[in-house]
Structure 1
Amino acid sequence: MNISFIGAGNVASNLGNLFTNAGHSVQFGTHNPKDNQLSVAEVISFGEVICFAIPFSAMDAVLTENRENLKGKIVVDITNAIHISDWSPVFLGEDSGGEQTARLLPESKVVKAFNTIFADAMKAEKQFNGQKLTAFIASDDQEAALVVKNLADEAGFNGFVVGGIKNARHLEAMAHLNIAVALSGGGTDAGFIYVQNKN
């Protein structure tokens, strides 16, 4: 599968490496020509799945500018609404970044995923007491959610679909909790594991 990343930071790089190791073709694109990456338009054209790993504050402009090219694509929103300066949350009330993305891209298959996992934990060797971190997934498009779940599983996570895109607000709250724990001493080499009793 061709997978594109908008953004070239640690999340994009580490998650992209996991997808590459799983046998997928991955490209990166940014707006900055100094990054020596493809342009955003070029990388969107390449990908079947388009992953956004850019600051939340940039999402509205980038999505609006590229709305036409994103039609019919699976769009994975990995962002969290935080202030970059100190990682504090941007409060969105009864809304979420994922839901905003879905409203901006009504003709795309929007999925919220991977936002609860730190970049430091997006590495092939990472296991936590022999268990895989859970990659929570929210989307109104069940087929797109399943595609992303399979990608998460192939990347070494336990993909878990939590329901529709409205649940993105819960995933983003989990990310804020993850950040708060990290800043209070838990660090970023950590994450959530959802355990089900299947007996």
Structure 2
Amino acid sequence: MKIGMLGAGTIAQAIARHAVRHGHEVVLSNSRGPDSLAPLVQDLGPLASAATPAEAATADLVVLAVGWPQIPDVAAQLPSLDGTVVIDATNQFATLHPRPTVADLGGITGSEYVASLLPGARVVKAFNSLFARYIAADPRHEAGRQVLFLAGDDAGAKDTVVRLTSEFGFAPVDVGSLREGGRLLQLGGPLSGLHVLKQD
């Protein structure tokens, strides 16, 4: 599978490393241009490359892992994502400094907002509820596998994400739709920052 990364920060890099380790091609992108990603691409190896966000978004599956304030700008650069599975790994931090604040979205969840900016995309919320170090680490432990909560409105898209993340070693758990499940996963929800293992 070719996986396009919108963003190249800590979360995107962690997911990219899992992907290349399991034989998937990754195409990284950021706001500074492909040349700025040359050291990271070299570190990840021959299955990694860099491109513009628009080019990365033509991959088989796309991971959105940018800062919350950047999402509208990134979405505006993308081609049609009709039918594309998009993993939304974002959290609605309006600001991080001097202290974190959460964006007020009214009655919708963060992923519903993201989906509204990516018409036709098959959005699956995942990875946002885990601290970065748990995403980067080997999800297989003596006591079990790291649980990865996910939510989405498209059953086929969720199946794709379940298969991919299971291959990485995670134990994916479907918690429902972007609305109901998304509320559980987003900042302030009962599953946000919850790190548990599933015994096999």
Count of residue pairs brought into register by the alignment: 183
Moved more, 15-24 or 120-129: 120-129
Q: Which runs of 4+ in 1 moved over 4 A?
A: 126-129
Are 1:3 and 2:3 matched, yes or no? yes
Percent sequence identity over aligned pairs: 28
- Report deviation, 1:124: 4.5
| 1:50 alignment counterpart | 62
- Report deviation, 1:35: 2.2
Change (3 A) 1:147 1:170: same
| 2:195 alignment counterpart | 192
TM-score, structure 1 normalization: 0.82
Report if aligned partners of 1:48, 1:74 keep a CA contact under 8 Å in 2: yes
Paired residue for 1:41, among 27, 48, 54?
Answer: 54
Change (3 A) 1:32 1:7: same
- Report deviation, 1:144: 0.2
**1:136-162, CA deviations, whole angstroms, 9 ceiling, x for partnerless residues?**
111110000010011111112111111
Change (3 A) 1:90 1:129: farther
- Report deviation, 1:88: 3.8
Greater strand percent: which structure?
A: 2
Q: Which aligned pairs between 1:174-185 and structure 2 lie closer than 5 A?
A: 174=189, 177-178=192-193
Q: Which runs of 5+ in 1 are unaligned?
A: 179-190
Q: CA RMSD in A?
A: 2.4
Q: Distance in 2 between matches of 1:11 and 1:79?
A: 9
| 2:90 alignment counterpart | 79
Greater helix percent: which structure?
A: 1
* SS of residue paired to 2:76: helix
TM-score, structure 2 normalization: 0.81
